[in-house]
Amino acid sequence: MPSENATFNSAVAKNLVHRPRRLRRTATLRRMLQENVLTVDDLIYPMFIMEGEGQKVEITSMPGCYRYTLDLLLSEIAEVYRLGISAIALFPVIPENLKDDTASESFNPDGLVQRTVKAIKQMLPEILVITDVALDPFTSHGHDGIVDENGVILNDPTVEVLVKMAVSQAQAGVDVVAPSDMMDGRVGAIRHKLDELGFTDVRILAYSAKYASAYYGPFRDALDSAPKFGDKKTYQMDPANAKEAIKEIALDIAEGADIVMVKPALAYLDIICQVKAYANLPVAAYNVSGEYAMIKAAAQNGWIDEKKVILETLLSMKRAGADLILTYFAKEVALMLVK
């Protein structure tokens, strides 16, 4: 005699109308019904440029990522473009002797970033070049703004320098400027000046919801740009806040941003989702250095399947609503997807 429990379970099974597992039964069905698909067109590759020649220096806290001199950077860009990566984001390593309190090197027409943009566009006009608009790589104190005698980051004087920086990058031929500083009003000021000077086709990718995150450590190692005093909490967002992200997004849209960004990505998937629901613009997410380093460290210790975790991590950002993902995994993922 079947037990009472078995009889009950059998009766329930006979009355099951909806069996979601039916649609998971074969690989073909799973592939056909997949709601989100990660492709190489979703990816933007952040790359580090330094002065010199013939040098490629690995970043200790970011295994597999390098600082390149311009000659070797051009070779690497040609390779990643061949793999299908059609957009890169440049971040400069500035020598200490060129840093000062006012970030004057940031808008030097013959500066590292400006020369790099010109060389890339001459070699490969088709690739989309994005440049960072922030002062921290160029300041002696490591902050994203002009600092007064009391250590206060000054908003409006900083915006004036950011505008000069964006204009110099536009003059060099950049496709997209990306203000990452989180100063108030900088998107509107940059858009106004670019339009006034005839650079109406230069796009603005705004770091709109950039949090004061502990995940940025390896990036600051890469650029040697950690703040020499204090922190960045007076201008970057509090990780506890979500509504504030929508406020920042709304302001940047009103000021003329073409794309808005959430940074970091992995610990802020809820923010990406909310921004995607609110914004009528493309949404980018930055898979930052700390997120990258954690996966690399776990993989090196044999604790995870690196390839599967990379793809799942990036797919989670796409699922949350990201149209574009800045990721140091871009080249690795491109190699995975072409196989």
Proportion of the chain above pLDDT 90, given as a percent: 83
How far apart are the C-alpha atoms of 55 and 68, rounded to whole Å? 6
Query: CA angle 94-333-80, nearest 5°?
Result: 55
Pairwise pLDDT comparison (69 vs 8), residue with the higher score? 69
Query: CA angle 311-312-315, nearest 5°?
Result: 85
What are the tens digits of pLDDT across the range 304-321? Answer: 999 999 999 999 999 999
Q: Is residue 13 part of a domain?
A: no
CA 315, 320, 321, 326 dihedral sign is negative
State yes or no: pLDDT of 1 exceeds 60: no
Query: What is the DSSP annotation of 131-178?
Result: EEE-STTTBSS--SSEE-TTSPEEHHHHHHHHHHHHHHHHHHT-SEEE
Rounded (10°) CA dihedral 255, 253, 237, 133: -60
Backbone angles phi, psi at 292, to 5 degrees: -60, -50
Query: How much is the mean pLDDT over the chain?
Result: 93
Task: Say what the pLDDT of residue 10 is.
Answer: 65
Q: Is residue 18 part of a domain?
A: no
Encoded tokens for 206: 């705004």
Task: Let me know if 307 is a catalytic residue.
Answer: no
Q: Classify strands 176-179 and 203-210 as parallel, antiparallel or unpaired.
A: parallel
Task: Let me know if 263 is a catalytic residue.
Answer: yes
**pLDDT band for position 13 (cuts 50, 70, 90):** low
State yes or no: pLDDT of 4 exceeds 70: no
What are the tens digits of pLDDT across the range 229-270? Answer: 778 888 999 999 999 999 999 999 999 999 999 999 999 999
Q: Residues 286, 263: contact at Cβ < 8 Å?
A: yes
State yes or no: pLDDT of 8 exceeds 60: no
Active-site residue identified among 56, 99, 121, 210:
210
Q: Is residue 32 part of a domain?
A: no
What is the average pLDDT across 311-339?
Answer: 95
Q: Classify strands 153-154 and 146-147 as parallel, antiparallel or unpaired.
A: antiparallel
Task: Say what the pLDDT of residue 17 is.
Answer: 84
Residues of the domain holding 325: 37-338
Task: Say what the pLDDT of residue 2 is.
Answer: 57
Task: Outline where DSSP puts E strands in the chain.
Answer: 43-50, 56-59, 62-69, 87-93, 128-133, 146-147, 153-154, 176-179, 203-210, 259-263, 283-287, 324-327
Q: What is the CATH number of the domain that holds 112?
A: 3.20.20.70
Number of domains the chain is built from: 1
Q: Is residue 16 part of a domain?
A: no
Q: Is residue 27 part of a domain?
A: no
State yes or no: pLDDT of 228 exceeds 90: no
Task: Say what the pLDDT of residue 226 is.
Answer: 73
What are the tens digits of pLDDT across the range 271-315? Answer: 999 999 999 999 999 999 999 999 999 999 999 999 999 999 999
**pLDDT band for position 76 (cuts 50, 70, 90):** very high
What are the tens digits of pLDDT across the range 195-225? Answer: 999 999 999 999 999 999 999 988 777 767 6
What are the tens digits of pLDDT across the range 96-139? Answer: 999 999 999 999 999 999 999 999 999 999 999 999 999 999 99
Encoded tokens for 79: 């390779």
pTM of the model: 0.93
What are the tens digits of pLDDT across the range 157-184? Answer: 999 999 999 999 999 999 999 999 999 9
Task: Say what the pLDDT of residue 230 is.
Answer: 73
Task: Say what the pLDDT of residue 142 is.
Answer: 81
Pairwise pLDDT comparison (338 vs 60), residue with the higher score? 60
Q: Is residue 302 part of a domain?
A: yes
Q: Is residue 262 part of a domain?
A: yes
Task: Say what the pLDDT of residue 220 is.
Answer: 74
Q: Is residue 160 part of a domain?
A: yes
Active-site residue identified among 99, 232, 263, 318:
263
Residue type, 199: F
**pLDDT band for position 11 (cuts 50, 70, 90):** low
